[in-house]
Amino acid sequence: MAITTYSDISFVLSGGTSNINPNAALGGEPSSYPIVDSMVNNLFNDVTPSQSQEGYEDYRCFYVFNDGPTTVYEVKIWVASEYAGGASVQLGIDYKNELQRITIGNVGITGGSFTLSYNGTSFIVNYDPDIGVWATNFQTAINNLLALNDVQIIVQYSSDSTLFDVSFTGRDGKRWHPALAIVSNNLIPETTIGLSILQVGSPINTSAVEIGAETNPPGGVVFYETTETSPIYVPRLDPEDELPIWVKRTTLENTESIAEDGFTFRFSAESLAPLS
């Protein structure tokens, strides 16, 4: 069973750096080896007569890489065609937006600021006695970083702490993010600042789960019937970003066994960011 790939974006097997066997592309780290275009069985092996008689469901995982020097936006992937009468395929992905939390101890703060860093770049959050304004200061400061656009800050207040939930949404969503780090604490009086990750973002720059056997469904992955108007979608792929995609092949009971049964998928993206 074959798929057709394209030269502008890299499509590689999963199964670890040295894997060259499509039948071992069962999740885990990306391979260094690409899916070979226009080659039979470049992702799935043939459905056997007994499998087509009894019905069979199996899985593969591949990675999409942006090997170019610039970010691409509005990334869409969908199944363009399948062989009539053969097995059917769905594409699967694990969508999650990253959610981190900053916890600040309440000790009668009267002024000052604290400095955080994102991926090595620092930004300052100035205190304000109005927690809504304080949250806005935080949101404005983090979104002024070149790497970020759509971070939302949600603030909660209790008698002993102020919680800032840092939600990576929109063009910053659907990806793993490095943890924020404390650079300095200049709040007056000085108090504790804690960092935690409530939810790790995915699928961009995360490793696919390993399923061990081709018939084991990958946990956390949702599969979709995809079309050009209803594709797998991620807002952007930066240079060197990786995107794991799962494929579920379903062979219904008493399906005719077709030689070189297969499917094609399509990839599209924009070179410019959409207008906000």
pLDDT in tens, the chain (276 residues): 444 444 578 999 999 999 999 999 999 999 999 988 766 578 888 888 888 888 899 999 999 999 988 899 999 999 998 877 778 899 999 999 999 999 999 989 999 999 999 999 999 999 999 999 999 999 999 999 999 999 999 999 988 999 999 999 999 999 999 999 999 999 999 999 999 999 999 999 999 999 999 999 999 999 999 999 999 999 999 999 999 999 999 988 887 766 667 788 899 998 887 766
What whole-number distance in Å separates Cα of residue 114 and Cα of residue 125?
5
What whole-number distance in Å separates Cα of residue 51 and Cα of residue 135?
57
What whole-number distance in Å separates Cα of residue 175 and Cα of residue 205?
6
What whole-number distance in Å separates Cα of residue 44 and Cα of residue 249?
9
Where b means 16+ CB within 10 Å and e means fewer, 9-25 reads bbbbbbbbeebeebebb
How many other β-carbons are positioned within 10 Å of the β-carbon of residue 80?
A: 14
CB 50 within 8 A of CB 44: no
Alpha helices in the chain (DSSP H): 49-54, 131-143
To the question of pTM greater than 0.85 for the whole model, the response is yes
The helix/strand/coil state of 264 is: strand
Domain parsing of the chain, residue ranges? 10-95+203-270, 99-199
What whole-number distance in Å separates Cα of residue 60 and Cα of residue 15?
10
